[in-house]
Chains A and B, each alone.
Chain A
Amino acid sequence: MKVITGVVGNDIHVVANRLIDLSLQARGYEVFNLGVNTYLEEFFDAAVETGAEVLMISSLNGEAEGWAREVKLLKAKYKQLDELIMMIGGNLVVGSGNTEDIVSRYKNYGFDLVCHQVDLNTGLDSLEAFINDGKIKERCQ
C-alpha cells in the first residue's frame, strides 16, 4: 500500500518525519516522504502522481490548523482523490487545547483519522485498523 507523508507548511522539524518514514516502511508500506516544509498542493499532486491510498500529514509547531482549513476546497479540485485516506497527526494546535474539540474540528476539515499528541505506534495501529475495517466493509457489500 502506498503512503504519502510529510510535514505541512513552513514547519522544518524533521526528526519525527524520519521516524514516521522508518516505521511505515517497517510495517510494509511503500512510502513517499515529501519531508518537511511541504504545502498542501504538493501533497495532493504527489497523491495523484503515485496513486497513493493514504495521505499522512504531520505537524509539530501546530501551524497545521491554518492549512487544514483549505483541505476540502483544494481536494475538491482534484478529481481522482475521493478514495484517498486522509490522516493527520502531531501537535495540531499552537499552544494547547482540548483533544476532543481538536479531533472533531479536524474531521470537519476533511480528515478520516486525527492523532493529536498520540504516540507514533498507536497512531499507525489506528491506521491499520481503519484500513482493515474498510476492507471488511467492502467484502460485506
Chain B
Amino acid sequence: MSLLQEEREIILGNEYVDTFDFSEVEAFVKNASKELFISHHFKKKNKMLVQPRGGFPTYKQQFALYEFFVEANVDVLPLTIDSNTRLNDYATAKKMLRLSEENDMDMLNGYPLVTHGYRTTRKMITHFDKPVSLRHGTPDARLLIETAIASGIFEIEGGPITYLLPYSKNFPLDKAFLYWKYVERVCANYSKLNEPINRESFGPLTATLVPPSITIVIQLLEMLLSLEEGVKSFSVSFSQQGSMNQDIVTGAVIKKLAKYYAQQIDCGDAAIHLVYHQWMGAFPANKDFAEQLINLSTVIASMVGADKIITKTREEATGIPTKEANAKTVADTQYTLGILNGLPNVVDEQEEEVLTEEVNAIMEAVFNDPADTLWRKVFNSIKNGIIDVPFSPHIINHNEMITIRDANKNIRIIKRGGVPIPDRCFEYEKAQCDLNKSTTGIVDDIIHDIGIMQ
C-alpha cells in the first residue's frame, strides 16, 4: 500500500465518518455525470460562469437554496462550509447541526459536510446535476475534500497560503503545506478517472490593499504546487481592486504568467482558468448602492475576460444573505453578462510591463531559496518576508509592506519591506502617489482607501 493510501485510511477512519467505501467512491467518480465537473463546463462554454456564495446548516435548507439558484439560472453551485468543520471540530459541528434541525434556528454559518456525510450529500448534488464548488478556509482539509469528492463536488477552492495568511494567527504554515499536498494528490488521482477535478486558489487574500504583484505571485505559487502533484485543471483568481485599469492589467499579466510558469515545470498541458471575485472589501449599507457596485464588478469581470465570476449580494453589509437576495444577484449578473456586448480592448503596456517585472523578480527570489522542494522555498520566502501580505493576521507574515491608493485608486507600494520589488518599479509606484504627507496623514489615507466603496 502506498504511503498516501495509508494516510487516507487513517484520515477516513475518523470517528465522525460513517465507513468510507473507497472502491464505491472510485466507481462513483468514474461514472459520474460530466455535468458535475466544472472543468468540463470550462471546456465547452464560451460564456462566463456565474457562481454565488452560500451554505446553510441543514440538508433541507441547502436543498432549498439550490432550488432558488437553479431558478435564477446559476452555472455553478457553491457549498460553503461552517467554521467548526473548517477548524476540524466535528464534535461541535455535529451538536450544532442537531440544534439547528431541532430548533429551526441556524447555529452554524455553513453546511457541515463531514457531519452530513457523503452518502447524504451526494443525493443532493446528483439531483441538481450542476457543478458544485467547495468553499471553506480550512488549513487541514484532508477529510473535508475526501468527503466532498465522494459527494460529487469536483471543484475544491483554497490552498496552503491563501487559506492561512488571511484567516489564522497561529496555525503552523509548514503543516498547512503538507496537508494541502495531500489534497493535491487526491485531486490528481481522481482526475485520472473521468474529467479532471478543478482546483481553485483564493486570490482575494485579506481583500485590504493587497497589491497585484503579491496577489499574482501567490496565485502562481499555489498553481505550481498543485500542478507539480498532477492536478490538470486549475483556476487562478483575484478580486476587484478598486481601479478598473489595474484590474484589466492584473488579468492580462496573471493569464500570461500562469501559462508561462506552468510550461516552466512541464505542465503546459494543464488547463488554467481565471476567476474574478466581485468586490470583497467593505460594502455600502445602502442595498441599492450595493447592487450598483455588484453590477460594476460584473462589467469589470467582462473587461478582464474572466472564465468565472463569484458574486456578492445586496445584503453584504448586513450579515449572512438570505436565499432570495443570493438568487437575485445570480439573475442580475446573468442579465448584465447577456447585454454586455462589444467590449473595447483596453491594453496598458507600461503598467503591464511594471507588474510583470515585479512578479518575475519576486518569483526569482523564491526559486533562488536554497531549499530542496518548492513548498519549502515558498515557506522560507514567507518566513523571510520576500512574500508579505498587507493586513495578514498571521504571526509569520512580516507586515513590513505599506500600500496606498493613487489618484486613480490603483493600489501602489510605498514601502516594500523585504519584498524584492525592483528599484525601477518601486520608483514608478511611488511616483504615482503623493508622498509629502506625515505618517498620520498616510494612516488617514489608508483608512479612507479601505472604505472607498462605502
Contact = CB atoms under 8 A, between A and B. Distances in A.
Interface of A: 12, 14-15, 18-19, 21-23, 25-26, 35-37, 120-121
B395 A35 contact: yes
B393 A37 contact: yes
Contacts of A15: 208, 391, 450
Nearest to A18: B391
A4 B275 CA distance: 41
Contacts of A35: 169, 393, 395
26 contacts: A12-B167, A12-B393, A14-B391, A14-B393, A15-B208, A15-B391, A15-B450, A18-B391, A19-B446, A19-B447, A21-B399, A22-B402, A22-B439, A22-B442, A22-B443, A22-B446, A23-B440, A26-B439, A26-B440, A26-B443, A35-B395, A36-B393, A37-B169, A37-B393, A120-B447, A121-B440
A23 B447 CA distance: 12
B188 to A, nearest CB: 33
A138 B180 CA distance: 58
Contacts of A26: 438-440, 443
A4 B139 CA distance: 29
A13 B49 CA distance: 32
B86 to A, nearest CB: 13
Nearest to B441: A26
B392 interface: yes
A7 B442 CA distance: 22
Contacts of A22: 402, 439, 442-443, 446
Contacts of A120: 443, 447
B14 interface: no
Nearest to B402: A22
Nearest to A10: B169
Nearest to A34: B395
B92 interface: no
A23 B439 contact: yes
A12 B171 CA distance: 13
A19 B402 CA distance: 11
Interface of B: 167, 169-170, 206, 208, 390-393, 395, 399, 402, 438-440, 442-443, 446-447, 450
A75 B399 CA distance: 30
Contacts of B439: 22-23, 25-26
Given A26-B439, A36-B393, A18 B170 contact: no
Given A15-B391, A26-B443, A37-B393, 5 more contacts: A12-B167, A22-B443, A23-B439, A23-B440, A37-B170
Nearest to A17: B393
User: Which 4 A/B pairs are nearest by Cβ-Cβ distance?
Assistant: A26-B439, A14-B393, A37-B169, A36-B393
A17 B291 CA distance: 31
A25 B399 CA distance: 14
Nearest to B395: A35
Given A19-B446, A22-B443, A35-B169, A14 B392 contact: yes
Given A26-B438, A36-B169, A36-B393, A19 B443 contact: yes
Contacts of A19: 443, 446-447
A29 to B, nearest CB: 12
Nearest to A16: B447
* Best-buried of B208, B391, B443, B446 by chain A (most CB within 10 Å): B443
A32 to B, nearest CB: 13
Nearest to A14: B393
Nearest to A22: B443
Contacts of A21: 399
Given A15-B208, A15-B450, A23 B395 contact: no
A18 B402 CA distance: 10
A18 B440 contact: no
A66 B262 CA distance: 51
Nearest to B392: A14
A14 B170 CA distance: 14
B168 to A, nearest CB: 8
A120 B448 CA distance: 13
A24 to B, nearest CB: 10
A135 B450 CA distance: 38
Nearest to A20: B443
A18 B443 CA distance: 10
A46 to B, nearest CB: 13
A3 to B, nearest CB: 15
A12 B450 contact: no
A67 to B, nearest CB: 16
A37 B168 CA distance: 9
Contacts of B392: 14
B316 to A, nearest CB: 17
Nearest to B446: A19
Contacts of B443: 19, 22-23, 26, 120
A21 B443 CA distance: 10
Nearest to A19: B443
A23 B443 CA distance: 7
A11 B167 CA distance: 11
A43 B32 CA distance: 54
Contacts of B450: 15
B324 to A, nearest CB: 27
A25 B439 CA distance: 9
